[in-house]
Amino acid sequence: DRHLEYVKDAKNAKKMMASLDAVFKRKSPFSKLYVMKKLLKLKCNSDDLQDHFIVVESLLRELEAAGAKLDETDKACYLLLTMPEKYDVVITAIETMSAEKVDLDFVKGRLLEQELKFKDSASTHNQGDERAFMSRKRSNSVQCFGCNKFGHVKKFCKNRSDGSMAQRSNQYSNSSNRSRARER
């Protein structure tokens, strides 16, 4: 309601929009500088690239409204500048392409593909961790029939009653003593 004063004297919709544009659209070099600064400071901190794309596109529209002339390559470059280092592989691949093929939609598609790869590799990695944890858990629940302790089986028991661990230890020391004697 408070903005009705701006369009009170306008006779049609076109004049109303022109009046509102004159009041709210800022096409000064300073407004362009302000939006450009916001865009250059922006970094992708979101886990969802779609949300980040919306923020970048909004700032690009503000920059154009402030009077900046942006082609599709410029828009793509601004988006790439906001991406974290983990997307450097995609950025390098895009840099090798000709400028005619690179536009904002193309870049967004490549970044989304890379995001899917990251998510897929993370889920595969987590499954491997779960398997490793389960195998460790199983080894701790195994009970030795020699000493009745948990975590190993009789075959690998250090306290074997048949003396085979001691025999192996003696065999090793005897063989090393023989090899030293030969060296002399």
- Confirm whether 149 is domain-assigned: yes
What domain range includes position 158? Answer: 142-183
Verify that 117 and 148 share a domain, yes or no: no
- Confirm whether 3 is domain-assigned: no
CA distance 58 to 159: 71
Verify that 154 and 132 share a domain, yes or no: no
Verify that 126 and 179 share a domain, yes or no: no
Verify that 100 and 147 share a domain, yes or no: no
pLDDT at 130: 58
Region of poorest pLDDT, from 2-16, 48-62, 104-118? 2-16
pLDDT band at 127, cuts 50/70/90? low
Residue owning tokens 């023989």: 178
Beta bridge partner(s), residue 27: none
Region of poorest pLDDT, from 35-39, 86-90, 100-104, 106-110? 100-104
Verify that 169 and 123 share a domain, yes or no: no
Mean pLDDT to the nearest integer, 91-115:
92
pLDDT at 45: 86
CA distance 91 to 108: 11
- Confirm whether 164 is domain-assigned: yes
Residue 57, SS3 per DSSP: helix
Q: What is the pTM of this model?
A: 0.56
- Compute how many other C-beta atoms are within 10 angstroms of the C-beta atom of residue 11: 7
pLDDT for residue 155 is more than 70? yes
Verify that 44 and 129 share a domain, yes or no: yes
